């Protein structure tokens, strides 16, 4: 029996749903049996006890139970804020890399890897055949050889080390995307 663990996104959504459906405590009282956590009951003004904590319950456990909604809600909010900050930081890093590339510096992306992946795509191979005289049938190696010839590259590494080569590659990819949309 293989019970695959749900994705982090699915688990987070289930935690959000649990929090949304959880009853907030409306009162706490103590007696000889311990501390009792109450929520609004079905009858107006009649609280119901949902949890009794014995006097022997450690303080940290008691605090976790008393704040059973606030703590996970705070943690989820922190995760969301961290995710938002990371996305903004990634976007800023990419923007700065692109600005450096636009001024003639090192290319912003791993264009060599992108080229290798594109050369393995049948659609890109057809594009190269139609637009750049690649003979069909073809494969990724023949496509890569044709790309290097068309872009005047010694090696795909040039795409990551040479800004003009990277610019020629980006133009070819844009041409490919337009070609694909026109089909």
pLDDT digits over 145-177, tens only? 999 999 999 999 999 888 889 889 999 999 999
Cα distance between the two ends of the chain? 46
Q: Do the domain assignments include residue 66?
A: no
Rounded to a whole number of angstroms, the CA Rg of the chain reads: 30
6-26: average pLDDT: 91
CA dihedral 60, 83, 11, 38 (to 10 degrees): 40
- Tokens 């001024």 map to which residue? 103
Please state, in angstroms and rounded to a whole number, the distance separating the CA atoms of residues 179 and 115.
Answer: 17
Q: Could you read off the pLDDT of 35-81 as tens digits, one per residue?
A: 999 998 887 778 899 999 999 999 999 999 999 999 999 999 999 99
| Close Cβ partners of 142 (under 8 Å, ≥ 6 residues apart) | 134, 135
Please state, in angstroms and rounded to a whole number, the distance separating the CA atoms of residues 22 and 24.
Answer: 6
- Tokens 């969301």 map to which residue? 80
* Percent of the chain residues topping a pLDDT of 70: 96
pTM of the predicted protein model:
0.53
Q: Do the domain assignments include residue 54?
A: no
Token pair belonging to 22? 């959880």
Q: Do the domain assignments include residue 57?
A: no
Q: Do the domain assignments include residue 138?
A: yes
Q: For the chain, where are the alpha helices, taking DSSP H only? A: 8-21, 59-66, 70-102, 111-119, 122-132, 140-150, 158-161, 163-181
Indicate whether 100 pLDDT > 90.
Answer: no
Please state, in angstroms and rounded to a whole number, the distance separating the CA atoms of residues 8 and 10.
Answer: 5
Total domain count, the chain: 1
Q: Do the domain assignments include residue 82?
A: no
Indicate whether 105 pLDDT > 70.
Answer: no
Q: Do the domain assignments include residue 15?
A: no
Domain range for 146: 111-181
Q: Do the domain assignments include residue 142?
A: yes
pLDDT computed for residue 108 by the predictor: 67
Q: Do the domain assignments include residue 27?
A: no
Asked if 134 contacts 143 with a C-beta cutoff of 8 angstroms, the reply is yes
């Amino acid at each position: 029996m293989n019970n695959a663990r749900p994705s982090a996104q699915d688990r987070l959504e289930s935690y959000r749903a649990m929090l949304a459906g959880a009853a907030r405590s409306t009162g706490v009282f103590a007696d000889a049996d311990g501390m009792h956590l109450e929520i609004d009951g079905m009858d107006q003004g009649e609280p119901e006890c949902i949890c009794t904590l014995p006097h022997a319950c450690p303080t940290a456990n008691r605090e976790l139970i008393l704040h059973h909604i606030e703590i996970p809600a705070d943690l989820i909010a922190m995760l969301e804020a961290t995710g938002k900050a990371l996305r903004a930081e990634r976007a800023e890093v990419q923007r700065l890399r692109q600005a450096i590339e636009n001024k003639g510096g090192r290319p912003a992306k791993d264009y060599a890897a992108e080229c290798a992946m594109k050369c393995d795509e049948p659609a890109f191979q057809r594009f190269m055949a139609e637009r750049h005289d690649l003979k069909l049938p073809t494969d990724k190696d023949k496509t890569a050889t044709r790309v290097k010839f068309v872009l005047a590259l010694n090696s795909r590494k040039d795409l990551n080390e040479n800004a003009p080569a990277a610019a020629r590659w980006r133009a070819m990819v844009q041409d490919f995307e337009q070609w694909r949309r026109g089909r």
